[in-house]
Amino acid sequence: MTLKLIVLACLLAVAHSRVFNTWHRNPLIGARILGGRDAKPGEFPHQVSLQWGSGGKFEHFCGGSILTERWILTAVHCLEAIDRINESGIKGYFVVKAGKQDLNRVEDTEQTSIVEKYFKNWDYTGVGAKPGSSDIGLIKLETPLRLNKRVTKIALPGKDTEPTGETILSGWGAIDDGEENAGFPHILQTINLPILSRENCQSALEELIPGSGKNVDDTNICTGPLTGGQSPCNGDSGGPLTTKNGKGETQVIGIVSWGLSPCGSRGAPAVYVKVSHFIDWVSAIMDKN
């Protein structure tokens, strides 16, 4: 099967029609982690589900991370999906759900807050289906989350720190290859993934699709393994890639951004926003708003 450049974006069905489409060079919104396992209840209390809908019926389309009671970290291309829905004239609400494990049922631990406003990094270079750098956005909630052991903040990394080693990814993205009939899990998934050097990442992408390596720069992180079968996929977009910091706290080092289709293809890395590169931007937006 021919690999196609994609951005990690999920298939969000709205009013029985797809407002944005599949993996053929589209943002990766939706899908489950390929090759992962079910997360334990409360294992990732910083993880949120971005959802859109109305009349009490909402659909997951992207992930995010809790920075404070009112601020959520995610990917710009997830927010642009909401822009497209708004431009279409379809009525509904953009909400964040925290404390979630199972998307198919109402849980005692869950909290829902309507999005008050959102902010897209002004240097984002993505255009339509073309992946771009600076794919980092912030969401401000209308109602603050109530922090507890099932809804917690995640730490930010030090400015310009360079992550290495093993990471942990979590999300509700596709659990198969992300093609047309992708299967989406209702239970939160997780997997451990190794970080690749930028040089190895660019080289791997170039081997599969000449020219695609130039889409990775010093604002990105890449993960393997290049043996295939383990990867974020549609619906994981905007979600956190994490490690532990020196204090033993969980920190968000990456935001799921884009990859190649089919998900988990042999030789294909996954690409994330490197959060440490954007600490000043995150602080400025939160301080001024």
List residues with catalytic annotation.
77, 135, 237
Place of tokens 């997830």: 78
d(CA 129, CA 261): 13
d(CA 261, CA 273): 19
For the stretch 88-95, contacts whose Cβ atoms lie closer than 8 Å and that sit 24 or more positions apart, written own/partner, are 88/19, 90/14, 90/15, 90/19, 91/54, 92/14, 92/52, 92/53, 92/54, 93/52, 93/53, 93/54, 93/58, 94/50, 94/51, 94/52, 94/118, 95/50, 95/51, 95/52, 95/53, 95/58
What is the amino acid identity at position 21? N
Q: Give the pairing type, strands 47-54 and 93-98.
A: antiparallel
Query: b or e along 42-80 (b: 16 or more beta carbons within 10 Å of the residue's beta carbon)?
Result: eebbbbbbbbbbeeeebbbbbbbbbbeebbbbbbbbbbb
Specify which residues 148 forms β-bridges with: 151
Give the closest residue to 170 by CA, choosing from 36, 23, 10, 11. 36
**CB contact at 8 A, 9 and 233:** no
Give the closest residue to 39 by CA, choosing from 152, 169, 194, 156. 169
The helix (run of H) or strand (run of E) holding residue 7 is strand 4-7
